Amino acid sequence: MYAKTLASVLSLFGFTAASSYQDAAVTRCCTELAARLPNTTFARDASQSSMYYETRTSFWSSTEWLDPTCVFLPTTTADVEIAVSIFNANECPFAIRGGGHSAIRAAANIDDGILVSMKNVKDITFSKDFSTATIGAGNTWAEAYEAIEAKGYMIVAGRFGTVGTGLVLGAGFSYLNNRHGLGADNVAGYRVILANGTTVLANSTHHSDLHWALKGGGNNFGVVSHYELILHPSQGCFGGRYTYPHSSIEAVKKATYNYHVKTAIEDKDVHVLPTYVFANNETYGYTPVVSNRNATSLPPSLKAWDQIPHSNQTMKYRKYGNLANELVAGFPNGLVQSHYTFTVYPDEAYFSELFDLWEQFCTSMSHIEGFNGLHTVMPITPHAIAEGIRRGRNALGLERAKPKTTLSVFYLGVTFNNESDIDEVFPAWEVFVRTLQVRAKRKGIFFPYIMMNYSDHNQQVLASYGEENVKRLQAVQKRYDPSLVFQRLVTGGQKLPL
């Protein structure tokens, strides 16, 4: 009865209800895809060695291992056009997977719908003047770096090799942020398949409103098949990672604060990712340190990191691809993951207090099998914000920050082995991370930006970009997706407020 009423109400607005007949629609979509694009579509099966199983479990967090009705692996833009037309015509829910590194359940996978995995869209081409590289959405950063560094260039993208291109639909922390701005600011163009099944190139001269919206807009506007990324000449870097024992933590805290308020601003050719790890009931510092130069030693601006007593370091001259592959060790697929993020103005006492509270929280969870905690804090410098403006602006609302002041983005993550522990860990985690934000608000250092890349499912990312930007994003959505296909049928991930 309820389903019937709902169906008739929704039909008044031209929508169809998600009731039992949705299963029939999804089956129809899977069948039609399989018929029109042979060898791209794999129906649900019980095997653990099938393409279906491999695709539905190729995610960093086990919270993303869902049960789609079928998986679809396009290889070209045209394949995606056909698929989106079929989904739109039949009202089929679907999910879009780039590199599968979101920890949010159903951000890039789906129960009882169609999982579109972009992983076979792998082509990489270069503009004639080598100002940009156009990379298929299925590349990992390690794959992209291998091709791009071979030509003597680098892009502003992820620091860990296995992560995927969805990173530049959020914001994008990179080795090169301090000089060139965020990853999203360095996307010269997005090739996007819209809800009506047509493809547009959104760049600074064509569909510039959509170009702006995608710089932070996630999966709200279309399926991106290719990213045209700005190339920066590069001969590699001097970089690696320092491991600091617990006795060095006070010195690491100091160096971290100095990096945010001084080093990252004054030396734009460096990158530090000051990270604390809690594992096996022990806390230590784990900090990638990078000089973006063809050099065999650290510049004076980074010497402090070497002077802190460390138990291990891997510094050497190398390609970024090599570094990105080294850093990813220790971040395996398939464990339970959750992360949370928020932004503050740098404050030394707050950074220190947060570390202490975080260590206490992690210690209280050490009885959970496989429990690890990780936290880091990353600067967005005034120059990086200005680069975003210079390159045509993004949707993130960072211009609201106080002038000449760095923003500090916290990442807080937990990992453990078993889904059966979720009910114990996640509620406590939620209280913990909210408490940290309240403390920042009380101190007057809170900045209301939530970075999509590290967000949790219950964080309102797009709303955090500010009212004006939300209205602009809604106008772009109305123009390119008038029946809100990407709002209604792609339900996972961070959605634009209605």
Ligand X SMILES: Cc1cc2nc3c(=O)[nH]c(=O)nc-3n(C[C@H](O)[C@H](O)[C@H](O)COP(=O)(O)OP(=O)(O)OC[C@H]3O[C@@H](n4cnc5c(N)ncnc54)[C@H](O)[C@@H]3O)c2cc1C
Q: In the set 82, 83, 108, 154, which binds ligand X (CB under 6 A)?
A: 108
> What residues from 422 to 481 belong to the interface with ligand X (CB under 6 A)?
453-454
User: Minimum distance between the CB of residue 297 and ligand X, rounded to whole angstroms?
Assistant: 24
Helices (H), 340-421: 348-364, 382-390
Report the C-alpha gap between 130 and 283 in whole angstroms.
44
Residue pair 140/163 in contact (Cβ under 8 Å)? The answer is yes
Q: Which window, 91-99, 234-242, 312-320, 419-427, contacts ligand X (CB under 6 A)?
A: 91-99
Segment lying near ligand X (by CB under 6 A), choices 34-42, 161-169, 383-391, 471-479: 161-169
The minimum distance between CB 414 and ligand X, in angstroms, equals 12
CA separation, residue 99 to residues 55, 58, 60, 158, 352 (Å)? 11, 9, 9, 11, 34
Alpha-carbon distance 344 to 155, whole Å? 27
Q: Is 379 in the site for ligand X (CB under 6 A)?
A: no
- What DSSP state is assigned to residue 402? P
Instruction: Give the number of C-alpha atoms closer than 13 A to the C-alpha of residue 22, restricted to the C-beta side.
Output: 18
Token pair 């001097």: residue: 238
Whole-angstrom distance, CA of residue 30 vs CA of residue 291: 49
160 touches ligand X (CB under 6 A): yes
Residue among 261 and 273 whose Cβ is closer to ligand X: 273
Nearer to ligand X, 160 or 342 (CB): 160
Give the nearer residue to ligand X in terms of CB position, either 234 or 248: 234
Distance of alpha carbon 491 from alpha carbon 91, whole angstroms: 12
The DSSP element (H or E) to which 392 belongs, if any, is: none
Q: Which CB atom, from 97 or from 211, has the smaller least distance to ligand X?
A: 97
The nearest distance, CB 20 to ligand X, in angstroms, is 26
Contact 56, 68 (CB under 8 A): yes
The footprint of ligand X on residues 298-357 (CB under 6 A) is 331
Site map 194..233 versus ligand X, x via CB under 6 A: ------------------------xx---xx---------
Residue 493 contacts ligand X per CB under 6 A? yes
Nearest distance from C-beta of residue 143 to ligand X, angstroms: 12
Binding positions for ligand X, 3-62, rule CB under 6 A: 60
Q: How many other C-beta atoms lie within 10 A of the C-beta of residue 252?
A: 24
**Which residue in the set 68, 74, 100, 285 belongs to the binding site for ligand X (CB under 6 A)?**
100
The three-point CA angle 403-271-439 to 5° equals 55
- Nearest residue to 309 (alpha-carbon basis) of 251, 359, 259: 251
Over its C-alpha atoms, the chain yields an Rg (Å, rounded) of 22
Burial tier of 247 (Cβ tally within 10 Å: 0-12, 13-18, 19+): exposed
274 touches ligand X (CB under 6 A): no
Answer yes or no whether residue 239 interacts with ligand X by CB under 6 A. Answer: no
Per the listing, tokens 């784990």 go with 286
- Shorter beta-carbon distance to ligand X: residue 59 or 248: 59
Interstrand relation of 237-244 and 316-318 (parallel, antiparallel or unpaired): antiparallel
Q: Give the residue with the Cβ less far from ligand X, 113 or 164.
A: 164
What is the closest distance, in whole angstroms, from the C-beta atom of residue 322 to ligand X in the complex? 15
Strand, helix or coil for residue 126: strand
Q: Please pick, from the candidates 62, 63, 75, 165, the single residue that binds ligand X as defined by CB under 6 A.
A: 165
| CB 172 to ligand X: min, Å | 4
Q: Which two tokens stand for residue 435?
A: 């408490």
CB of 97 to ligand X, least distance (A): 4
| Per CB under 6 A, 189 contacts ligand X | no
Based on the shown chain and the rule CB under 6 A, indicate whether residue 373 belongs to the binding site for ligand X.
no
Question: Of 81-89, 93-101, 350-358, 394-402, which segment contacts ligand X by CB under 6 A?
Answer: 93-101
The SS3 call for residue 11 is helix
Tokens, residue 427: 């509620």
Q: Around 57, how many Cα atoms within 13 Å sit in the side-chain half-sphere? A: 15
What's the one-letter identity of residue 464? S
# residues near ligand X by CB under 6 A:
33
**Minimal distance in Å, beta carbon 223 to ligand X?**
5
172 makes contact with ligand X (CB under 6 A): yes
User: Of 13-21, 160-168, 383-391, 427-435, which segment contacts ligand X by CB under 6 A?
Assistant: 160-168
Residue 96 or 298: the one with the smaller Cβ distance to ligand X is 96
Stretch that binds ligand X, among 169-177, 384-392, 457-465, 468-476 (CB under 6 A): 169-177
Note whether 490 and 166 are within 8 A (CB). no
CA distances for 36 relative to 31, 82, 92, 362, angstroms: 9, 8, 16, 51
User: CA-CA distance, 114 to 259, in Å (whole number)?
Assistant: 44
Site string for ligand X, 125-154 (x = CB under 6 A): ------------x-----------------
Q: Nearer Cβ to ligand X, position 33 or 108?
A: 108
Residue whose CB is less far from ligand X, 91 or 456: 456
Strands 446-447, 275-279: parallel, antiparallel or unpaired by DSSP?
Answer: unpaired
Residue 161 Cβ vs ligand X, minimum distance, rounded to whole Å: 9
Residues that bind ligand X (CB under 6 A): 60, 96-102, 107-108, 118, 137, 158-160, 163-167, 169-170, 172-173, 218-219, 223-224, 331, 453-454, 492-493
